[in-house]
Amino acid sequence: MSKEAIEVFRECIPLFQALSDPYRQDIILMLSEGEALTVNEITEKTSLSRPAISHHLKILRDNQLVQIEQKGTHRYYSLAIDSSLELLKKLIITVEHHC
């Protein structure tokens, strides 16, 4: 495997880790329906506590999978997957060309 392919794989590790959790996958699928949701709205649709949802949202936000929009006193979360998709496309292209 080329050095470039290894570097791209390593660059993807945090994204893979963020996507590996079933609860985070559920949150992503919830947000993929198009409507921005608050932590409380997400909590109502899961079996997790509010602090647990906040923790998962932080991981998703740190990995640029969700974004926050502040409206008054509420914070609305929505998908922001463009940079992650570009990284995954880069990985696929690199693997196709170098492996």
Instruction: Give the residue with greater pLDDT, 25 vs 1.
Output: 25
Q: pLDDT-based confidence at 17, cuts 50/70/90?
A: very high
Instruction: Indicate the SS3 state at residue 82.
Output: helix
36-49 pLDDT tens trace: 999 999 999 999 99
Record the pTM.
0.88
Structure-token match 């992503």, residue found: 28
Counting other chains too, the contacts that 5-9 makes at CB distance below 8 Å and 24 or more residues apart are: 5/94, 5/95, 5/98, 5/99, 8/90, 8/91, 8/94, 9/91
Residues 63-72 have pLDDT tens digits of 999 999 999 9
- What is residue 41's predicted lDDT score, i.e. its pLDDT? 97
Residue 99 has pLDDT above 80, yes or no: no
**Quick one: average pLDDT of 44-59?**
97
Give me the percent of the chain exceeding a pLDDT of 90. 89
